C-alpha cells in the first residue's frame, strides 16, 4: 500500500503500448469483442411477442425508462439479454451484506485468501441464478399479455423465463471473462456500454429541442449542458482525490552500509469504493420495481401486497413526484455503500501491522493501536466527505432539470454520469498499470 514516487506513463507511451504490446492489445481486443457480443444479444428478440403493442404500453413509463438505461434498451426490445448484468449486481449486493452478518462468509473473505474469495464468487453466482429466475418469471408474466396469436399459456411463460435467465447467466459469464482476460471490471464495463448506447438518443432530443428557435429553450439547454460539464469535473475530483499520510521508514544497516530514513506516503482515496457504491445504490432502487413486476399478475397474498410494492416503486423512481423521498433514500444508500466498501477494501488493523513489520511509522503517531485509530479516523472522515459529495453530485442534475423544465436527459442523470466517469477512470488506470508493467519488463530484459 506504500507508494513511492514514480512517473506515470504519458498518453503517447500508453497508445504505443496499446498498439505494440501483444498482451495489452489482446486484452483490449477481447474486451471490445465481448462488449459488442453483448450489445448484439440485446437485439435478438424473444419470439411470440407483439413488440409494437408492448412499446406503446411502456412508452411513457418513467420506471421502465430508468431500467432501460441500465439494460441498454434490452427491456423495451424484449431481447434475450434484457436482464443483462442486473441480477449479478443484485446478488453481489446480497452477498456483500451477508458477509458482514454471517461469520462463515466473513471468515472466507478475510482469512481464507484466494480460495475463500473463489468460494464467495461461486455462491454469488448461485444467488444470481436464483434472482435471475425471479426477475425472468416476473417479466414473463408481464409480457404474456402482449403474446401473438398462437402463443401464450404457462409453457410460453416458462420459455420466456428460461430464455431471459440463460441470457442473464451468459452476460454474467462474459463479465467475468472480461475481468479475467480483458481490461477493467466486466460488470462495470457492461453497465458503462449500456449507458453509452442511450447517449445518442438523449443528445439528439436535446439538440432537436435547442433548434426549435425559442431563445429561452436554447438558454435552458446551455445551462443544462454546463451543469453536466461541471458535474463531470466534480466527479473526476472525487474519484481522484486522495489523502497522503506521510510514512517514515527507520534507518537500516545492511552489512557495512547504513541506509538513511526514507520518506514515502500512504494514499487513502476520498472515495474508496470507486463507482461500485453508485452501482449498488442504483441496483437497490431497482429492487422494488422488480418485485412490483413479479407480483403484478399474482393471486392471493401476492395480489394483496402488489399495490404496496407498486407504491414504493413509484416513490423510489427518479421521476417521482415529489422527489424528496427518492433523493433522501438515494443519498443514504450512497453513504451506506461508501462506508461498507471502505470497510471491505481498507483494514486499518492490517495496515498498522504491515507498517510495523516494515519498520515504518506515521510521524507523531505511536506504532500499534494508536496508528490503527489514526488511520481509522482519517478513513471515516474521508469516506463521509466523499459520500456526501457523491450524494450532492447525484441530486443536482435532477434538480436543475426539474427547475428549468428541460427533461431530455431524464433518467440519464448523475447516476449515469458517476458510472460513466468512474468506470472510465478505473479502466484507464488499469491500462496504465499494464503499461508500467510492460515498461519494467523491458528494463529487466535489457
pLDDT in tens, 307-366: 777 777 777 776 666 667 777 888 888 888 888 888 777 888 888 888 888 777 888 888
Residue 366 located in a structural domain: yes
CATH code of the domain containing 158: 1.10.3370.10
Residue 2 located in a structural domain: no
* CB count in 10 Å sphere of residue 291: 19
- Which residues form the domain of 176? 11-445
Could you report how far apart the first and last alpha carbons of the chain are, in Å?
28
The predicted model gives 197-209 an average pLDDT of 73
The predicted model gives 144-170 an average pLDDT of 86
DSSP annotation of 145 reads G
Residue 3 located in a structural domain: no
Residue 5 located in a structural domain: no
d(CA 138, CA 313): 15
Instruction: Extract the C-alpha cell encoding 288.
Output: 422494488
Instruction: Please give the residue that has the higher pLDDT: either 262 or 243.
Output: 243
Can you give the length of the chain in residues? 446
What does the pLDDT read at residue 4? Answer: 40
Residue 326 located in a structural domain: yes
Is the separation of the CB atoms in 251 and 260 below 8 Å? yes
What does the pLDDT read at residue 287? Answer: 74
Q: If we measure between CA atoms, which residue out of 260, 262, 278 comes closest to residue 420?
A: 278
The number of distinct structural domains making up the chain is 1
Residues 6+ apart with CB under 8 A from 47: 151
State the chain's mean pLDDT as an integer.
77
Torsion sign (Cα): 376, 380, 382, 386: positive
Residue 224 located in a structural domain: yes
The predicted model gives 125-136 an average pLDDT of 91
- The model's pLDDT over 50-99, given as tens digits with 9 standing for 90+, comes to 877 877 777 666 566 666 666 767 777 778 888 888 888 888 878 877 87
Percent of the chain whose pLDDT exceeds 70: 78
What does the pLDDT read at residue 174? Answer: 93
What does the pLDDT read at residue 405? Answer: 67
Instruction: Extract the C-alpha cell encoding 214.
Output: 425559442
pLDDT of 284 above 50: yes
What does the pLDDT read at residue 256? Answer: 62
User: Mean pLDDT lowest for which of 144-158, 271-285, 340-354?
Assistant: 271-285
pLDDT band at 302 (very low <50, low <70, confident <90, very high): low
Query: For residue 277, is the peptide bond before it cis, meaning its omega torsion is within 30 degrees of 0?
Result: no
Q: How are strands ordered across the β-sheet holding 360-361? A: 262-269, 242-249, 360-361
Residue 4 located in a structural domain: no
Is the separation of the CB atoms in 84 and 190 below 8 Å? yes
Strand, helix or coil for residue 259: strand
From the CA atom positions of the chain, what is the Rg in Å? 25
Amino acid at each position: 500500500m506504500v507508494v513511492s514516487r514514480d512517473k506515470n506513463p504519458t498518453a503517447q507511451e500508453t497508445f504505443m503500448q496499446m498498439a505494440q504490446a501483444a498482451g495489452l492489445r489482446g486484452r483490449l481486443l477481447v474486451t471490445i469483442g465481448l462488449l459488442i457480443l453483448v450489445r448484439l444479444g440485446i437485439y435478438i428478440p424473444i419470439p411470440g411477442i407483439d413488440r409494437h403493442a408492448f412499446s406503446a404500453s411502456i412508452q411513457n413509463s418513467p420506471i421502465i425508462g430508468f431500467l432501460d438505461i441500465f439494460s441498454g434498451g434490452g427491456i423495451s426490445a424484449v431481447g434475450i439479454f434484457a436482464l443483462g448484468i442486473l441480477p449479478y449486481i443484485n446478488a453481489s449486493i446480497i452477498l456483500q451484506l451477508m458477509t458482514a452478518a454471517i461469520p462463515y462468509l466473513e471468515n472466507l473473505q478475510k482469512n481464507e485468501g484466494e480460495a475463500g474469495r473463489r468460494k464467495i464468487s461461486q455462491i454469488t453466482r448461485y444467488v444470481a441464478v436464483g434472482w435471475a429466475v425471479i426477475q425472468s418469471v416476473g417479466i414473463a408474466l408481464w409480457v404474456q399479455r402482449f403474446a401473438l396469436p398462437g402463443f401464450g399459456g404457462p409453457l410460453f411463460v416458462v420459455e420466456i423465463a428460461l430464455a431471459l435467465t440463460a441470457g442473464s447467466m451468459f452476460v454474467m459469464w462474459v463479465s467475468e471473462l472480461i475481468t479475467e482476460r480483458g481490461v477493467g471490471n466486466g460488470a462495470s464495463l457492461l453497465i458503462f456500454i449500456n449507458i453509452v448506447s442511450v447517449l445518442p438518443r438523449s443528445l439528439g432530443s436535446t439538440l432537436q429541442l435547442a433548434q426549435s428557435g425559442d431563445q429561452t429553450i436554447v438558454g435552458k439547454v446551455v445551462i443544462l449542458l454546463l451543469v453536466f460539464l461541471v458535474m463531470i469535473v466534480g466527479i473526476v475530483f472525487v474519484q481522484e482525490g486522495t489523502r497522503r499520510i506521510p510514512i517514515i521508514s527507520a534507518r537500516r544497516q545492511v552489512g557495512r552500509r547504513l541506509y538513511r530514513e526514507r520518506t514515502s506516503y500512504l494514499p487513502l482515496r476520498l472515495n474508496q469504493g470507486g463507482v461500485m457504491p453508485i452501482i449498488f445504490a442504483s441496483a437497490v432502487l431497482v429492487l422494488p420495481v422488480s418485485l412490483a413486476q413479479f407480483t403484478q399478475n399474482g393471486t392471493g397474498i401476492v395480489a394483496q401486497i402488489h399495490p404496496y410494492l407498486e407504491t414504493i416503486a413509484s416513490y423510489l423512481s427518479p421521476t417521482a413526484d415529489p422527489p424528496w423521498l427518492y433523493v433522501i433514500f438515494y443519498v443514504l444508500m450512497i453513504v451506506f455503500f461508501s462506508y461498507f466498501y471502505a470497510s471491505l477494501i481498507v483494514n486499518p488493523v492490517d495496515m498498522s501491522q504491515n507498517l510495523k513489520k516494515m519498520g515504518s511509522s506515521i510521524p507523531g503517531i505511536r506504532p500499534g493501536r494508536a496508528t490503527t485509530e489514526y488511520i481509522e479516523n482519517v478513513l471515516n472522515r474521508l469516506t463521509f466527505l466523499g459520500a456526501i459529495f457523491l450524494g450532492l453530485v447525484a441530486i443536482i442534475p435532477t434538480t436543475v432539470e426539474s427547475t428549468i423544465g428541460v427533461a431530455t436527459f431524464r433518467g440519464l442523470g448523475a447516476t449515469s454520469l458517476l458510472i460513466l466517469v468512474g468506470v472510465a477512470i478505473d479502466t484507464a488506470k488499469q491500462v496504465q498499470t499494464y503499461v508500467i508493467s510492460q515498461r519494467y519488463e523491458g528494463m529487466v530484459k535489457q
